[in-house]
Amino acid sequence: MNFASPLFITFFIYLILILFLGVAAYQRTHNLGDYILGGRKLGSVVTALSVGASDMSGWLLLGLPGAIYLSGLSEIWISVGLLSGAYCNWFFISRRLRVYSEHARNSLTLPDYFENRFNDETKILRVISALVILLFFTFYTASGLVGGAILFETSFGIDYSTALISGALIIVSYTFVGGFLAVVWTDTIQAILMLAALIIAPITVIHGNGGIGAVWQQIQVVNPESIRLFGNLSTIGFISLVAWGLGYSGQPHILVRFMATENKQKLVSARRIAMLWMLLVLSGSIATGMAGIAYFGEQALGNPETVFIVLSQQLFNPWIAGVITAAILSAIMSTIDSQLLASSSVITEDFYRVFVRPKASEKELLILSRIAVMIIAILALVIAIDRESRVLDLVSYAWAGFGASFGPVLVFSLFWRNMTALSALAGMVVGSVTVLVWSNLSGGIFDLYEIVPGFLLASIAIFTISLLKPMTNKQTLDCFKEVEQILDN
């Protein structure tokens, strides 16, 4: 690796900036509430871009362009599902969750919210939801580490294991120091970089190859099937791609941004900013994958998920390539840091404070949260050490796990007053188990993306149990009524 190359120098300057933001955030982090939710003081722009960056991850710049490059426009339906799901999440969930999480005893985490929403004195709901988060976030974090390793390996020529550890050290360092504020501040910068990179790359290919018409003709010559919206897509395949949108209502690292916003009014403008950003970056990611087909022609890449990295390094001078490399790492880091923080908050807030030391000091909890960040990162490294791991596969598994486990529970909890702790628990267990079992089956109906049966069966379990034994606790029912009144004002 050449430490004096423009690529490395540009990349290194970006890393210094990220670490600087971590230190600045550290100076404004005084207690566990600051470390986990930033004191609930996020503005519209930061909320919007932070949600977008933490949502898209390395999948946006590695997984999706790679899928488009390999299979063509038939993979576009993932984006359609995601856009629809994200809009519904912003429109129906964000304001209600912001109000309810604060009104329900100032809940700081999703397990905290579930327990307080249903006044579950048994603590079972908190424990199960915390375990679900730790299980699927470990796989989710592993997907990001794999993406980071691919980036370092392709860009700097270092071996996979060294690249994996290097990426993990960078991400853990600023998350460990600065907590939630460091995460959302860096996410905001990362969202801007991701947008710029995904606009520049495909435009450069189009301009350098004679315009849109010429590029489109080249794509048809290289792979005529790639321009078909449905290609060889089966009905089950189509439903599976669109069904990605179901996952949004169950993603803790996205939902926590809603909880941390300064007030419910700011979520309206945040929604508009976030959806515009998302539309642009998904369009850019799809265009990048298609541009890769035209640019590389019959010269197939060994790993399709490196198409954006290789394009940037062949199209641009090393200085610009360094910025784009930083953008790719940004996409990866912006999700991993959120996942590490959410996992550490679960260990600290939902296990240690509740079951081990209820009277632990703020300083003690802060120290434990930082240690937990390192523990989760190490577990994810163990999973990511497999060189054959694919970013999209790991992301899809974790996305389905959260979507089926938490999605139905959260939606029902915000809109149905008669829902109970028992029905919430049943929904989580049924959703999780369905995803775990379904993902290990194949053939016929079992090729359907596991989030579909998981979400459906969890919803049926919640609905059935709530009908048979509706909520009767007066305090819980009164709290639901008060939240409804706040939302109406």
Please report the sign of the dihedral spanned by the C-alpha atoms of residue 234, residue 236, residue 241, residue 242.
positive
pLDDT at residue 27 in the model: 63
Output the CA torsion 133→135→140→145 (10° steps): 120
Give the pair of three-digit tokens for residue 262: 């300064």
C-alpha distances out from residue 169 to 56, 145, 346, 372, 391, Å: 21, 10, 21, 14, 19
Structural contact between residues 82 and 243, judged by C-beta atoms closer than 8 angstroms: no
pLDDT tens, residue by residue, 409-463: 999 999 999 999 999 999 999 999 999 899 888 777 888 999 999 999 999 999 9
Instruction: Check residues 149 and 98 and name the one with the higher pLDDT.
Output: 98
Q: Report which listed range, 98-102, 167-171, 193-197, 333-337, is most confident.
A: 98-102
Report which residue type is found at 267: L
- Report the range of poorest mean pLDDT among 167-171, 432-436, 478-482: 167-171
- Other C-beta atoms lying within 10 Å of the C-beta of residue 478: 10
pLDDT at residue 88 in the model: 95
Q: By percentage, how much of the chain surpasses pLDDT 70?
A: 88
Where does the pLDDT of residue 371 fall: very low under 50, low under 70, confident under 90, or very high at 90 and above? confident
Answer yes or no: is pLDDT of 253 > 60: yes
Of residues 232, 231, 225, 254, the one with CA closest to residue 140: 254
Answer yes or no: is pLDDT of 1 > 60: no
Please report the sign of the dihedral spanned by the C-alpha atoms of residue 230, residue 232, residue 238, residue 240.
negative
Report which residue type is found at 352: Y
Distance separating alpha carbons of residues 342 and 253, to the nearest angstrom? 6
pLDDT tens, residue by residue, 8-34: 787 778 777 767 766 666 666 666 555
Q: What does the pLDDT average to over 232-246?
A: 90
Q: pTM of the prediction?
A: 0.82
pLDDT tens, residue by residue, 36-85: 555 566 778 888 887 887 777 667 877 788 889 888 898 899 899 999 99
pLDDT tens, residue by residue, 427-440: 999 999 999 899 88
Distance separating alpha carbons of residues 233 and 229, to the nearest angstrom? 9
Domains within the chain, CATH numbers bracketed: 6-390 (1.20.1730.10)
Distance separating alpha carbons of residues 112 and 16, to the nearest angstrom? 35
Distance separating alpha carbons of residues 362 and 235, to the nearest angstrom? 53
Distance separating alpha carbons of residues 448 and 242, to the nearest angstrom? 11
Where does the pLDDT of residue 403 fall: very low under 50, low under 70, confident under 90, or very high at 90 and above? very high
Looking at every residue in the chain, the average pLDDT score rounds to: 83
Answer yes or no: is pLDDT of 406 > 60: yes
pLDDT at residue 425 in the model: 96
C-alpha distances out from residue 258 to 6, 104, 128, 401, 422, Å: 39, 15, 22, 20, 26
Q: Report which listed range, 102-106, 201-205, 243-247, is most confident.
A: 243-247
C-alpha distances out from residue 40 to 166, 262, 300, 320, Å: 32, 5, 48, 36
Answer yes or no: is pLDDT of 404 > 90: yes
pLDDT tens, residue by residue, 328-352: 766 666 567 667 777 777 788 778 8
Of residues 268, 273, 278, 209, the one with CA closest to residue 245: 278
Of residues 370, 445, 437, 420, the one with CA closest to residue 117: 420
pLDDT at residue 337 in the model: 67
Answer yes or no: is pLDDT of 142 > 60: yes
Where does the pLDDT of residue 174 fall: very low under 50, low under 70, confident under 90, or very high at 90 and above? low
